[in-house]
Amino acid sequence: MLNTRSVLTGGDGQSYPRTADTDALLGVLCMYGSILSNQHCECGNKFTSAHKDKDGFYCPDCHTRPTRYHINARSFGLDYIFSDVKIGKVFQNYSDGLDVLVEMNRDFKKVHYDKKRFPKDNWMKEKIHAKLIENIIETWLINYDTELSKGAKSKSRVANVKKSCRHMLEFFKGCDIRDIGQDEVEKFYHSLLKRDLSSKYIDNILWDLRSLFLRYRPSDVVKFPVYAIVPKKEKQLLRQPREFAVLDKVPVRHGFLLGIMILLRTGMRIDELPALRVNNCEDEYVYVDKAFTEGKLRLSRKSGGMVVYRLMPELWAMLMEHCEGKKDEDFIFTYDSGHKLAGEKIPASRWYKVWTKACKDAGQRHITLQQASRHSKATRMMAAAQEKALQEIGRQLGDNPATVEKHYIIKGKRAE
C-alpha cells in the first residue's frame, strides 16, 4: 500500500514522494505537473498513480515496476517530456522524473505561475540542443568552410578559428551558451594563461568566443578580460644607420635588394610586392591593385582599390634595368635562371627570411620587415607633415617653429 507519511498530495490531485526538495518547494501543498507511465505490466495491468510508493509505480498483482516514465507538462504550457533535456537522459525511474519536475516548478514559481513568462526553451530538447556550445560551434564552422570554398574567407583565418574552437570545446563542452557567465569566461581565460600560448593567440581565442556571444545572445554579452596578457613588444623605427648596415647584407641576386629597397621607400605591403607585373610600372610610378595570399593571387589589395607609389629616379632606373627582357605580363620579382625554381615568383615568406638573415649578418637588432617598411614610412611621413604644419603656422604667426611647438600648441588633456 501507499505509505502516506512519505507521500505528498499536490493541488492537482497527484501524489509525490515526500523529500527535502518537495517539502521546501511545496510549502502550500501545491505542485504543478504530473509524472506518468505508458507502460503495462506483463499481466496486462497499466502502471498508474493509484498504485505508487516512494520508489514509483508498481503492479499490485505482480509487483513489477515500469522502466520508463514521462512528465505531463501541460501546466507549464508544454506537452510531454520523456527525458532530462539538459543531459539527454531518459526517465528510467520515478526519481529521475521527479527531479526534473521539481526544477520546473522552481522556474514556474520564479515567474509567479505565469505560463507566458515560463522559460519554455530551458525544457525543450530542440531549443536546448541548439544552444549547446558544441552544436553552435559545429554550425559556425560549417558556415566558415562554405565561405572558404567561395573565397569569402582566407584559409589562414578559417584555420585560426578552428584552433580557437578546439580550446573552447575542451573547456565549455556540454554547456548551454545562455548559462555561461562572466565567472566562467574568466576561468577559461585563466586556463589559457596557464598554457604556452602567445598573447596574440589568446586574444584571438577570446575574440572568437565573444563573436559567439554577439551572435547568439547579443543583448546579454558578458564582460571579457581587456587587460594585457603579456606586455606588447615595442614597435621600432628603422633609422638610417641601421638601414644602411642591413641593406649592405641583402643579396642582389633575384632582385632581393631592389625589392626590399622598394618596400622601405614606399611602405608597400609585403604580399603586394610578389604580385607586381611589368605593366604595373610606368613613368616612375608603380600602380598596385593586387596581392598574394597563401600562394594565390587575389583580385584586389587587402584594403581594396589601387594605390600609386612614386619611385626616386635612382630606384626607378634600377627597376627598369631589372625588368629588361621581361614581357608586360611577367612578374617583376622571380627567381633567376640557374635556380631550381627559376621563373617562379618570389613569395612573401621568402622576403621575410632574406630580411631576417640580413639583420643577423649585419649584427643589428632585429626589426620586422613590416615595421622597417610600412610602419617606419608612415612614421616619417607623419613627422614630415607635422614639421611642414609647424613651419606654416610659424610663418602666419611670425615666429619660428620651435617656439610655436613649445608655447602655442596645446597638448595632452588641455587639448580636450
Residue pair 265/312 in contact (Cβ under 8 Å)? The answer is: yes
**Among 220, 252, 273, residue at a domain's last position:** 220
Q: Does residue 382 form part of some domain?
A: no
Residue 36 near residue 46 (C-beta atoms within 8 A)? no
Grid cell listed for 316: 626607378
| Average pLDDT for 13-23 | 52
Domain boundary among 122, 143, 169: 122
Q: Is residue 287 in a domain?
A: yes
Q: Which one, of 87, 83, 86, 97, lies nearest residue 31 by Cα? A: 97
The distance from CA 39 to its chain's CA centroid, rounded to whole angstroms, is 49
On whether both 152 and 251 belong to a single domain, the answer is no
Residue pLDDT, tens place only, 20-76:
555 554 444 467 888 888 888 888 888 887 888 877 888 988 888 888 898 888 888
Same domain? For 69 and 153 the reply is no
Q: Is residue 231 part of a domain?
A: no
Inside any domain, residue 405: no
The answer to whether residue 406 sits within a structural domain is no
Let me know whether 257 and 370 are in one domain: yes
Considering its fold, how many domains does the chain have in total?
Answer: 3
Mean pLDDT: which of 134-148, 244-258, 376-390 is highest?
244-258
The residue with greater pLDDT, 25 or 202, is 202
In a domain, 35, yes or no: yes
**66 falls within a domain:** yes
* Percent residues over pLDDT 70 in the chain: 88
Candidate ranges 234-243, 349-358, 375-384; pick with highest mean pLDDT:
349-358
Are 117 and 150 in the same domain?
no
Whether 175 and 157 map to the same domain: the answer is: yes
**350 shares a domain with 276:** yes
CATH number of the domain to which 351 belongs: 1.10.443.10
Which of 325, 324, 357, 328 has the alpha carbon at shortest distance from 256?
Answer: 357
304 in any annotated domain:
yes
Same domain for 192 and 70, yes or no, is: no
Cα–Cα nearest to 196, from 172, 170, 223, 167: 167
Q: Which of 70, 95, 122 is the last residue of a domain?
A: 122
Q: What's the rounded Cα separation, in Å, for the pair 104 and 90?
A: 16
Note down the domain range covering 141.
Answer: 132-220
In this structure, what CATH number is given to the domain that contains residue 147? 1.10.150
pLDDT value for 127: 60
User: pLDDT by residue (tens digit) across 308-343?
Assistant: 999 999 999 999 999 999 999 999 999 998 889 888
**pLDDT at residue number 363:** 95
Do 54 and 117 have their domain in common? yes
